[in-house]
A = this chain, B = another copy of it.
């Protein structure tokens, strides 16, 4: 025995896993930094300069714990979303909020429904609390919400996970169609609507339902369009009763104070957000052009990444991801067939895309 700790049966059965290997770890293994970091759907165009100024200014008060209520940020978000403070909980990224939500709702044997190849971190949390995962296939490279809802009714699911826009395929479903599909929602099933890429999507992706809709909890983040992945600020929007339940389990003093202040400044700089959306749009086109020049077909993207169909099977795409890494380009790819015929490239500044353009033919040549 090397520890007196007696794990719970559930914990003992869990693997010591990491849902994703970080690019720093890949760099340590290869012994060199990447020339382009285009794999984690980070936003290399960066945050609002006002957010940076605000975070720097927050240094003088970093000796203070953050406000556990995230009051100022939630107030601004309530104004932004035309809802009440009570409809918003702020947490350390969507990952943390998903963990709290799963903990609140999923016990051993409870079922959730998701899509095969959708967000692994959600599955990590479900497994972590002993839940059972029902995974349905993608349909035409999109998560199939009506099918997810129908399955939820069959298996009495507690939660449905649905990302709009979708990661890793970049597709999206118009909000009006989501609202229509929700008419078939079972009473005891909650839709976890992961809108991490929401700001990057076409306008008709917006869900035309009030924040208080009892059937839905929406997850949003400052990690993607707002360019602050390293700050760790996400939030959930939902019915007050459900949002209040997070206070049962969350790490109340877990928010970085500078991040709270930076996120508030970022939210207040919608001009910068518009500027980033233009840059992302241009980068999407550039990635599609680079792919096309190399025989890889870009799927339509409602996000800050482009999924490129490599025209083969998962082995070919995996080999290409590995070859690109050897060429100094960090990208990722879908985990599950048939989506794993693709690779996924995040939008980034021109220099990183130029490095991609240079490396891609060499990487493809390595495949033979």
- Chain A residues packing against B (C-beta within 8 Å): 1-11, 14-20, 22, 24-25, 28, 37, 40, 42-47, 52, 55-56, 58-69, 71, 92-93, 95-96, 99, 103-107, 110, 121, 128, 158, 185-191, 212, 214-215, 217, 223, 227-232, 238-242, 244-249, 251-259, 262
Contacts and interface: CB of A to CB of B under 8 A. Distances in A.
Nearest to A127: B248
A4 B95 contact: no
A268 to B, nearest CB: 17
Given A16-B247, A22-B253, A62-B228, 13 more contacts: A5-B105, A8-B104, A11-B103, A14-B248, A16-B245, A20-B68, A20-B252, A22-B67, A52-B60, A61-B230, A231-B256, A231-B257, A231-B258
A256 B239 contact: no
A328 B137 CA distance: 60
A-B CB proximity, top 7 nearest: A230-B257, A16-B247, A3-B242, A24-B67, A14-B248, A8-B107, A62-B230
Nearest to A66: B230
13 contacts: A16-B247, A17-B247, A18-B68, A20-B253, A46-B62, A52-B62, A63-B227, A65-B230, A66-B230, A92-B254, A93-B254, A95-B254, A232-B256
Contacts of A56: 56, 59
B245 A99 contact: no
A68 B22 contact: yes
Given A65-B229, A254-B92, A247 B18 contact: yes
A281 B66 CA distance: 26
Contact of A189 (B4, B68, B256): B4
Contacts of A55: 59, 62, 258
B17 A248 contact: yes
A104 to B, nearest CB: 5
A86 to B, nearest CB: 11
A248 B7 CA distance: 11
Which applies to chain A's interface (DSSP): helix, strand, loop or mixed?
Answer: loop
Contacts of A28: 71
A188 B240 CA distance: 42
A215 to B, nearest CB: 5
Given A103-B11, A247-B18, A64 B37 contact: yes
Contact of A4 (B5, B19, B187, B251): B187
B252 A187 contact: no
Most B Cβ at <10 Å: residue of A15, A46, A240: A46
Contacts of A246: 16
A67 B27 CA distance: 11
